[in-house]
Chains A and B, each alone.
Chain A
C-alpha cells in the first residue's frame, strides 16, 4: 500500500539507479499557526528548483521531482507525528527542506535516524556543532548573525545601542551574541528590552527605549509587533537607525512596518542582516528563470521572492541534492549524501557550475563539479553548516556592506 523511499527500483550500493519514478522533496515547515508564513516561503524555493530540474530532463532517469508540503504546525508535539508520517508514507522521498526553529530540536533526530538528508532553516545555535550526519544548513546561525549586526553598527560609528527583541524562539537566538558582540567591540548596550508579541500597544517599552537615548536599535520581532513598536517610537520619540536580523528582511515584515512608519522612513532608518548572496551572475539568472516558470504556483505576489535569500537558499539546497544524486548515480540518501559536501565544497580541478542543467551536463561528460548557486559559494564545515558571509540590505532590496568572516570574528 505505502511504498517506502527505498522502493521503486532504486538499487543499493554502487550500482547505477535506473528507476524512473517521480522523486519527492518534503517541505517540512509550519503552514498553519503563528508561523504559517514559513512554509510558503520554502515552497517558493522548492518549486522553482523542481521546475529547473525537470526542464533539464530530471535526475538520472527520474523525469519528475515533486515538492510535498508537510505542515509541522510550528511546535514539537505536532511536528513529530507529521515528520514520521512524511517519511513513512511518501514514495521516493529523497530529501527534506526544513525543519524550522520551531520544531527542529524534536524532528532533526527523526529525519537523521531515517537517513533522510535535510536542509534545516533553523538558526538555533544548538546545531552549530552537532553529530547529525544527515543534517545540513546553508543559512547562517542566529548567533553568527548577532555578531554581524554588532560589527556593522560599530563600523557605522554607533556607540549607544538598545536591543529590542520579541519573546519568541527565533528572536531570542540572536539577542545574546548581538549584545555580547557590541560590548566586545566597545559599544554600550544601554537597554535590552523583550517585547511580548502582538500587544495592542508598546508605549511603555518605547518610553524606556527613548529614555536610553540610543544611536541605534538592534531588533527582531514578528511583523505586527515590530510595526506597532516602530509606529509608537516614531510618535513618542523619533526614529533612530535600526539594524534588524535575518528574520526582519522578509516581505511580510517590510509590508507591516512600511505601513506603520512609511516607505521613506523605513528605507532611511532600516537595514537588515542577510546571508550574502550575489545580485547578478549566471546563478541568479538561472534562479530568476526558474522562478518565472512557476510564477503562478508560488505564494503571491511572486515578485517578493526574486531577491529574497531564503527561497534562494532553499532553491540551492534542492539543486545541490539533485546534483549530488546525479553525481552518485543514485537517489538513495545513504549513497548520495557524501556527494552533497563534494558537490558544494568542490575538489581541485572541479568545474564550477551555476545551474542543474549545467552541472548535469558536466557530470555526464565525466567531470567533477562545484556548484555555486544563487546564494553564492557554499562550503560545509564538519557539522555540515555553511555559515557564509553576511551583508546588509535595505527595505527596497538594495544591498550594502558585505561583512567578511574576519570582520565578524572580531566581535567574538
Chain B
C-alpha cells in the first residue's frame, strides 16, 4: 500500500456504488413521488433476479435477462401499487400503516420464493470473464457492463426528470402533491409512472446484484435493503441525484475503509457515515431538512 488511498479499493467501491446507485435511485424516486416507504423493494429485487435467472436458464443472453428483470420489476411494482398499496392509502391507512403493509409484502414475497423454490441457491450461467487493469484498478467485463449500465441509466433518469414534461410533473408532485394536482397535473398517472420507473430500476439492480454475487437465494435482495435505504437517506430521501451521490459515497467508503481495517467492519463504517451526516444535516446531503421535519407527518 503505497498510495494514501489504495487505488484498487476505489475501483472496488465503484462497482458496489454502481449496483447501489441503480437500487437507491429507484427506491428514492418512488418514495419522493408517492411518499410510500417501500420495504418490499429488496424482495422485489430477488424476485426480478429470479425472473432473469429463468430467462438465463432457457438460454437467454445477459441483455435479455436484464430486460426481463427490468420489465418484471416495473410491472410487479406497478401492480403492487395499484392493487395493494393504493387501495390501502384510499382505505385510510396512515404513514405507519403503509410502512407495515410494505414490510408485510416483502415478507410474503420472500417466503413465497422460499416455499416455491426451496432453500436453494441459484447462479446465472455466464461465460468466464476476463479481468482488465485500468489505472491500478481491476474490473471484469461484467463489472464494466454493470458500471456502464449504471451510468447510462443515471443519465436517462436525469434527462427524463429534467427535460420531459412527465419528469417535471414527477418532480412537481414530489415537491407538493396538492399543488401539483391543482396545477392540472394528472398525479395518478405520474404516480403510476414513478412506480414503473422505480420497479424497472429495482429489477435491473436485482439482476446486476446477483451477477456480482454470482449466487443468490430467497433472502439476497432483502439483505441489501438496509444499504439501499442508507444510500437514499444519505443523499436526502426523494432526491434521485442525492441517492446517486449517496451510493457513490457509501460504495467507496465501505471498500476504502476495508483497506485500512478489518473488512468485517466495512458496513459499520458506511452506516456510521450516515448517522453522522444525519446528525449534522437531518435531511441528508441534498435533502431539504424541512421536508423531513415531523410537522406534517
Kindly report which residue of chain A lies nearest to residue B124, judged by CB atoms.
Answer: A259
Q: Is A9 an interface residue when CB atoms closer than 8 A count as contact?
A: no
* Contacting residues of chain A (195-215) with chain B, CB-CB under 8 angstroms: 195-205, 207-208
The residue that B209 contacts in the complex, of A36, A200, A236, A252, with Cβ under 8 A, is A200
Give Cα A167–Cα B131 distance, bound, in whole angstroms.
Answer: 29
Q: Is B162 an interface residue when CB atoms closer than 8 A count as contact?
A: no
Q: Which residues of B contact A227 (CB under 8 A)?
A: 121, 123, 213-215
Give Cα A208–Cα B1 distance, bound, in whole angstroms.
Answer: 11
Q: Which residues of B contact A40 (CB under 8 A)?
A: 118-119
CB-CB under 8 A for A256 and B121, given A34-B219, A201-B16, A207-B9: yes
Q: Is A85 an interface residue when CB atoms closer than 8 A count as contact?
A: no
Q: Which residues of A contact B88 (CB under 8 A)?
A: none
Question: Nearest-CB distance from A47 to chain B (Å)?
Answer: 16
Give Cα A90–Cα B166 distance, bound, in whole angstroms.
Answer: 62
Question: Nearest-CB distance from B9 to chain A (Å)?
Answer: 6
Q: Is the CB of A196 within 8 A of B266?
A: yes
Question: Nearest-CB distance from A311 to chain B (Å)?
Answer: 15
Q: Is B43 an interface residue when CB atoms closer than 8 A count as contact?
A: no
Q: Is the CB of A208 within 8 A of B263?
A: yes
Q: Is the CB of A224 within 8 A of B213?
A: yes
Q: Is the CB of B128 within 8 A of A224?
A: no
Q: Is B95 an interface residue when CB atoms closer than 8 A count as contact?
A: no
* Contacting residues of chain B (74-91) with chain A, CB-CB under 8 angstroms: none
Kindly report which residue of chain A lies nearest to residue B218, judged by CB atoms.
Answer: A36
Q: Is A275 an interface residue when CB atoms closer than 8 A count as contact?
A: no
The residue that B258 contacts in the complex, of A204, A228, A235, with Cβ under 8 A, is A204
Q: Which residues of B contact A198 (CB under 8 A)?
A: 213, 219-220, 223
* 12 intermolecular pairs with C-beta atoms under 8 Å apart: A32-B114, A36-B114, A40-B119, A198-B223, A203-B11, A205-B263, A252-B119, A255-B215, A259-B122, A259-B124, A260-B214, A300-B118
Binding site for B on A (CB under 8 A): 32, 34, 36-37, 40, 167, 193-205, 207-208, 223-224, 227-228, 231, 235-236, 252, 255-260, 262, 299-300
Given A196-B266, A203-B11, A204-B255, 19 other A-B residues pairs in contact with their CB atoms under 8 A: A37-B119, A196-B267, A198-B213, A200-B209, A200-B213, A203-B8, A204-B258, A205-B258, A205-B263, A224-B121, A224-B216, A227-B215, A228-B212, A228-B214, A235-B131, A236-B138, A252-B120, A259-B122, A260-B123
Binding site for A on B (CB under 8 A): 6, 8-9, 11-12, 15-16, 19-20, 111, 114, 118-125, 128-129, 131, 138, 140, 209, 212-217, 219-220, 223-224, 254-255, 258-259, 262-264, 266-267
